[in-house]
A and B are shown apart, each in its own frame.
Chain A
Amino acid sequence: MIEFQNVSFAYEKKEYVLHDMSFRIEKGESVGLIGANGAGKSTIMKLLLGLLQGEGKILIDGIEVKKDTLGEIRAKLGFVLQNSDNQMFMPTVYEDMIFGPLNYGLSREVVDQRVDEVLKRLDLEYLKHRYNHKISGGEKRMGAIATILAMEPQAILMDEPTSALDPFNRRLVINTIRELDQTKLIASHDLDMILDTCDRVILISGGRIAADGPAKEILSNKDLLEANRMELPLSMMGKK
C-alpha cells in the first residue's frame, strides 16, 4: 500500500534529514512512527502526501507520488493534522466534512449520506451543525478525524493525534483509531497510544530507520528506546 524506496530528503542543500530510507506498509496494517523531535517523522508524512519532494521513489497503492499524480494520491490518503484548528477551517463541522468529498466531485446527496454515516459511527451526531470555534479541543480532534473519514481514504496518516487531549478524550481518540479498518500510519510521542493502536512500529533516528518490527517488541526494548532519546511507555514500566 505504502512504499518508500531509497528516499532521501534535505530542506537545505546537503543537510539531509532523511537518508536512503526504505520501508513498506501493507494494506490494513497499523504502523506507529516514533522518534525524538526532529527525527524526521513529519517529513515522512509530508513526503507521502506530496507536500515535499525528495529523492528516491514513494509509491501509494502502486502509484508513484509525483506532481501529476497528486490528485489521485491525495484522494487515497487522509491526513489528520496535529493542530486541529488548521484542519477545521470552515465555520461548522458539517461544512468541514463536506469540503473534501465535494472537491472530489461527489454529489451533495452522496456526501450528506457519508457525513451522517461517519458521525453516527463516531457517535458525533450532536457535533454536525456546531461552530468550530465553539467546540472543545477534544471535539475538534474528533471532528478532524470525521472530516477525513468522510473522504473514505484507503489509508489514514495521523500526526500526534492525542496531543493536548485530556485522558477522556485521549481514550476516545484511541478507541476510534482502533476501530478504523483503513491502513494507518501514526506519528507520535505518545508511546502508550502507539502500543494500544499499532501492530508495528518504525523507530526513526537521525533520518534513518533505527528499528522496524512488532510494536510490543520495540516498545519494550528499554535500551533501544533510550539510545534513541525515548523511554518505555508507562504501561511497560515495571514489566520485563
Chain B
Amino acid sequence: MNKMQKALHELSEMDELAARQSPIHSLHPAAKLITTIVYILITLSFDKYDLSGLVPMVLWPVIMFQVSGVDVHTCFYKLRIVLPLVMAVGLFNPFFDKEIMVTIGGVGISGGVISMITLMLKGVFCLMMSFLLMATTKIDSLCAALRKLHVPAMLVSLLQLTYRYVGVMTEELAVMTEAYSLRAPGQKGIHVSAWGSFLGQLLLRSMDRAQELFSSMMLRGYHEHFHYADIRPFNIKDALFMGLCIAFFFLLRYADIAQLIGGLFVR
C-alpha cells in the first residue's frame, strides 16, 4: 500500500468511525455542530496570556473521547499533518515578547512563551473538537443539519462535494504515484521536474472522475437537498445536551477552574 492508498484508507476510516454507536453518535448532528462551534469560539476568546484559564478547556474533549469511544491516539494520528502547522503558530512569539511574566523556581518565563503555548493549545483543542465532530457525525447528516440551520444549499453542496472530491483526488493520486514509482525505481517521491505535468494530469483526471461522479448523483435525482441523510427530529435530549455543554463551556470560561482546583492543594 503506498502513501496515497494509506491516506485513502484513513479517509474511509472516518466514515466508519462516524457510523459507530455511542451516546454522542446518537445525538442530533445540529446539536453537535452548534456545541462544537460554541466550544471553538469560547476557546479562541481566551486572552493570549490566560494559559491557566485555557487549560481546563481540555476537559470537554477528554469527556467526549471517553463517551464516544473514539480513540485519542486515532485523533492525534489522523491530525499528524495539521498539528505541526498549528503548533508553528506563535513559534516566534518568544523572540518578540521577552517581558518576564511568571517566575517558576527562579526561572523567568516570558510573555512570548506563555502566548506561544496558549496559541498552540487553542489550535490543538479546536482541532480535537473538529475531529470529534467528524468522527461522531456522518458527513451527510452534518450537511443535512447545516441545511436545517438554513445554511444556503449551494454552500452545503460545496462542502459535501468537496468531501467526496478529496477521496476521488486521493484515489487518482494513488494510481498516479504508483505508476510513477514503478517507472522510477529507487526514487523517493516525485522528482521536481515532473511536478508541473503531474499536478496538471492529476487535476484533469480527478476533474473527469468528479464530473462522472456528479453525473451519477444527478442521474439518481440529486438536487442539492439531502433527503438521503438519516436525520431524525431534534428532541429534548439534544436540547439538554446542547444547553448543558454550552453552560459548561461558559463555566470554564468565566470561573477560574484551574485556580479553584489549585486552591484545594496550595494555600
A99 touches B220 (CB 8 A): yes
A74 touches B217 (CB 8 A): no
Query: B28 on the interface (CB 8 Å rule)?
Result: no
Q: A91-B19, A103-B228, A131-B12 are in contact. Are A86 and B212 (CB under 8 A)?
A: yes
User: A11-51, CB under 8 A of B: which get 1 and which 0?
Assistant: 00000000000000000000000000000000000000101
B16 touches A131 (CB 8 A): yes
A89 touches B227 (CB 8 A): no
Checking B19, B138, B217, B220 against A151 with a beta-carbon cut-off of 8 angstroms, the contacting residue is: B220
Contacts from A to B (Cβ < 8 Å): 49, 51, 71, 74-75, 77, 79, 81, 83, 85-87, 89-92, 95, 98-100, 102-105, 131, 133-134, 147, 151
Closest beta carbon of chain A to B179's beta carbon, Å: 17
Query: B171 on the interface (CB 8 Å rule)?
Result: yes
A91→B216 CA distance, assembly (Å): 15
Checking A103, A133, A151 against B12 with a beta-carbon cut-off of 8 angstroms, the contacting residue is: A133
Q: Tally B residues with Cβ within 8 Å of A.
A: 25
Closest beta carbon of chain B to A161's beta carbon, Å: 15
Residues on the A chain within 8 Å of B9, using CB: 133
Q: A89-B213, A95-B228, A103-B228 are in contact. Are A79 and B219 (CB under 8 A)?
A: yes
CB contact list, B207-233 vs A, under 8 A:
209, 212-213, 215-223, 225, 227-228
Given contacts A51-B219, A86-B209, A102-B228, 16 further A-B contacts (CB under 8 A): A49-B215, A74-B218, A74-B219, A74-B221, A79-B216, A83-B209, A86-B216, A91-B15, A91-B138, A95-B140, A95-B228, A100-B221, A103-B223, A104-B221, A133-B12, A134-B12
Q: Which residue of A lies closest to B222 (CB)?
A: A103
Query: B237 on the interface (CB 8 Å rule)?
Result: no
Checking A103, A133, A134, A151 against B227 with a beta-carbon cut-off of 8 angstroms, the contacting residue is: A103
Contacts from B to A (Cβ < 8 Å): 8-9, 12, 15-16, 19, 138, 140, 164, 171, 209, 212-213, 215-223, 225, 227-228
B228 touches A98 (CB 8 A): yes
A66→B114 CA distance, assembly (Å): 65
Closest beta carbon of chain B to A129's beta carbon, Å: 9
For this complex, 16 residue pairs linking A to B, each with C-beta atoms less than 8 Å apart, are A71-B221, A74-B218, A79-B216, A79-B219, A86-B213, A91-B15, A92-B19, A98-B228, A99-B220, A99-B222, A102-B227, A103-B222, A103-B227, A131-B12, A133-B12, A151-B220
Residues on the A chain within 8 Å of B16, using CB: 91, 131
Checking B212, B219, B222, B227 against A83 with a beta-carbon cut-off of 8 angstroms, the contacting residue is: B212
Q: A85-B171, A131-B12 are in contact. Are A105 and B227 (CB under 8 A)?
A: yes
A208→B225 CA distance, assembly (Å): 40
A100 touches B220 (CB 8 A): yes
B220 touches A103 (CB 8 A): yes
